[in-house]
């Protein structure tokens, strides 16, 4: 269990350049993350998938889904879900329902847990719309 759960009230604005970096990488992997989210929700019945976006190749307890450079991406993407974050203390137990109640529609948004050297934050990215 971690000593410092994520601050769920972290509403500090995201720097535009940083958001651009996250968005540029996300668009390269969005289809795979969307498919993985669907699979997690349907087969594993986990309603709150979380994808950890990190420069670190290995994160204990969280399997890697997309390796850095696999599709021209600069970040690694690991698979997780809300209950795992709660179990290991990344989301405080008393904030679990708050997190789940504010979790955005997983058919439209990807829940990213962005981890960088000095930045840790949940970011919801909209999946690109399908072209007709």
pLDDT in tens, the chain (132 residues): 344 444 444 445 556 667 788 999 999 999 999 999 999 999 878 899 999 999 988 888 899 999 999 999 999 999 999 999 999 888 998 999 999 999 999 999 999 999 988 788 999 999 998 755
> Does the pTM exceed 0.75?
yes
Q: Which domain holds residue 60?
A: 16-126
Q: Is residue 78 part of a domain?
A: yes
Q: Is the dihedral of CA 19, 111, 102, 129 positive or negative?
A: positive
Q: Is residue 3 part of a domain?
A: no
**C-alpha distances in Å from residue 39, one per residue of 10, 43, 94, 107:** 29, 6, 28, 11
Q: Is residue 4 part of a domain?
A: no
| N- to C-terminal Cα separation, the chain | 47
pLDDT of residue 118: 77
Q: Is residue 132 part of a domain?
A: no
Q: Is residue 24 part of a domain?
A: yes
Domain count, the chain: 1
pLDDT of residue 45: 80
Q: Is residue 7 part of a domain?
A: no
Give the C-alpha separation, 115 to 120, whole Å. Answer: 5
């Amino acid at each position: 269990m971690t000593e410092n759960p994520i601050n769920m009230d972290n509403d500090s604005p995201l720097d535009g350049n940083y958001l651009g970096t996250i968005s540029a990488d996300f668009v390269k992997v969005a289809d795979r993350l969307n498919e993985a989210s669907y699979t997690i929700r349907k087969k594993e019945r986990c309603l709150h998938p979380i994808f950890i976006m990190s420069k670190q190749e290995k994160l204990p307890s969280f399997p890697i889904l997309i390796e850095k450079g696999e599709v021209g991406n600069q970040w690694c993407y690991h698979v997780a879900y809300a209950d795992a974050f709660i179990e290991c203390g990344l989301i405080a137990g008393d904030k679990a329902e708050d997190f789940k109640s504010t979790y955005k529609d997983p058919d439209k948004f990807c829940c990213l847990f962005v981890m960088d050297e000095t930045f840790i934050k949940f970011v919801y990215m909209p999946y690109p719309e399908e072209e007709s």
